[in-house]
Structure 1
Amino acid sequence: MKLNPYLNFDGNAEEVFRFYNAVFGGELYIQRMGEAPGMENLTEEEKNLALHVAIPVGDGQFLMASDCIKSQGHVLTNGNNNYISVSPDSREEAERIFNGLSAGGTIEMPLADMFWGDYFGSFKDKFGTCWMINYANN
């Protein structure tokens, strides 16, 4: 089984994923709303929104998203009810990812050694997505 977090955005999924891609690397995949059947009646702006965007974030795992289409009744509600938890392979990688993704965001818990033995930190990035970075000290 693989767990692939899927996010929704209010028209800026491409911008968000270009930012995430700068941190994680890999190939950025973008499919636009206008490429899907039945989307001919969307506005030009809506046709350019992301139907599906994805980047690889591990061995066979992906972070994925799409934009909400207001004309179709989709409504985005940002909140802290979802976190993306990343488990890097080293403390250095944990720091790189934490520092990269938290830039311009709000740090909830700085990276630190925790009572359960891991190196952990959490934050909300500048786009409102909540992240947890957890390196398991060995």
Structure 2
Amino acid sequence: MADRPTSGITPFLVIRNTQGREALAFYEAAFAAVIVETNVADDGVRLMQASLRINEGWLMLCDAFPEWRGHAEPEPAGITLHLQVDDTDAWVNRAVAAGADVTMPVADQFWGDRYGQVRDPFGHSWSIGSPIKA
């Protein structure tokens, strides 16, 4: 597909409990994601791979595949995905309305961003920030 990233880092999330399609719907509602591509496994149930664009960045995801090393059920990890946006409050409010939980309330931060954090229904942490408006 010509619209795929060709350099840089693209996060690839593994979604537990065959909830990949639910994750796609959540990211569409929460972060205005545009689904670029999806591929379903031979079993017709699990999502083998999906590519999304969020705020001009790329994200890939799949359902867990215990039979494939590297795509088994994820362990809790210290990873947070960051979104630099135009309006932190609006993005956090939309994510919460779609089902995310606030883990750090939005506030003005000393480094010059309005910033907060949420956890999506699939256990992934997201930080969201925008420059403080004068």
Q: TM-score, normalised by structure 1?
A: 0.76
Q: Is contact 1:87-1:134 (8 Å) kept?
A: yes
1:102 aligns with 2:96: yes
Over aligned residue pairs, what C-alpha RMSD do you find? 2.1
**Cα deviation code 1:39-71 (max 9, x no counterpart):** xxxxx3xx4211111211133x31110111234
User: 2:19 and 2:27 mapped to 1: Cα distance?
Assistant: 12
What is aligned with 2:58? 62
1:8 aligns with 2:14: yes
TM superposition shift of 1:132: 0.1
**Matched residues, percent identical?**
22
What is aligned with 2:4? none
Q: Is contact 1:125-1:131 (8 Å) kept?
A: yes
TM superposition shift of 1:119: 0.4
User: 1:58 and 1:105 mapped to 2: Cα distance?
Assistant: 18
Q: TM-score, normalised by structure 2?
A: 0.77
TM superposition shift of 1:136: 2.2
Could you tell me which of 19, 26, 36 is aligned with 1:19? 26
What is aligned with 2:40? 32
1:128 aligns with 2:123: yes
Amino acid aligned to 1:2: G
Q: Secondary structure of the residue that 2:10 maps to in structure 1?
A: coil
Task: Report the CA distance shift for 1:82/1:65 in structure 2 as closer, same or farther (over 3 A).
Answer: same
Q: Secondary structure of the residue that 1:70 maps to in structure 2?
A: coil
Q: Is contact 2:115-2:128 (8 Å) kept?
A: yes
